[in-house]
Amino acid sequence: MDKRKRAGIEKGILKKCKGVRVMRYNKIKLYHYSDINIPSKIKVKYFGKNHYTLNDVKSCNIKRAFFFLDNYNHEPSFLSNDYTYIVEVNKNRLYDLRKDKDNLYLGFSNIFELVKYVKKHYIGIIYNIGNWDIANIFYDISYTKKVKRG
């Protein structure tokens, strides 16, 4: 198929999917909020260094960066953050615990062991807390876009 025809088909598919988080080539957008002007990469070494992740360290001390799957549906406490960082990740590289296709949730006695296992096979995990869909990425990751808010 020639490039022009393929581009037209892809454009049509994207138009039909407007408003949906799924992007070309099975990618998903994730949103990270911060008051810090991050130069290039969101780094997991800062996990547990702010009040947002202190409780997470207690339940599972595996270093990770937190993201929301929806830029408009996130914890209200993030409304005051100065920056939104957007990353794009191939969905196949994230384990979706909401669907739990491998029944991992029942297979582990605690969240630490589950996350440790997922980290060996994926770059991150998707799960749900209340009204929010959240992703954790286990490795430093470059963002594709930075938005200054306010």
User: So what's the pLDDT on residue 129?
Assistant: 86
- The yes-or-no verdict on residue 60 having pLDDT over 50 is yes
Terminus-to-terminus CA distance in the chain, angstroms?
45
- The yes-or-no verdict on residue 127 having pLDDT over 70 is yes
How many other CB atoms sit within 10 Å of the CB of residue 57? 13
Domain count across the chain: 1
* Domain contains 17: no
User: So what's the pLDDT on residue 77?
Assistant: 63
More confident residue, 15 or 135: 135
Q: How far apart are CA 44 and CA 46, in angstroms?
A: 5
- The yes-or-no verdict on residue 53 having pLDDT over 60 is no
Range of the domain at 141: 26-148
* Domain contains 102: yes
Q: What is the pTM of this model?
A: 0.75
* Domain contains 11: no
* Domain contains 134: yes
Q: What are phi and psi of 73, to 5 degrees?
A: -130, 90
Query: CA dist 6 to 2, 84, 119, Å?
Result: 6, 32, 35
Question: Given the DSSP bridges, would you call strands 83-90 and 145-148 parallel, antiparallel or unpaired?
Answer: antiparallel
* Domain contains 9: no
What is the arithmetic mean of pLDDT over 109-119?
A: 90
**How many CA atoms, within 13 angstroms, populate the side-chain half-sphere of residue 123?**
11
Distance, CA of 133 to chain centre: 9
2 burial type by CB count under 10 A (0-12 exposed, 13-18 middle, 19+ buried): exposed
In percent, the amount of the chain with pLDDT more than 90 equals: 42
* Domain contains 111: yes
* Domain contains 76: yes
Q: How far apart are CA 122 and CA 119, in angstroms?
A: 5
* Domain contains 92: yes
- The yes-or-no verdict on residue 102 having pLDDT over 60 is yes
Residue 143 Ramachandran class (φ > 0 left, ψ -120 to 50 alpha, else beta)? beta
Let me know the angle formed at the C-alpha of 139 by 41 and 64, rounded to the nearest 5 degrees.
100
- The yes-or-no verdict on residue 6 having pLDDT over 50 is no
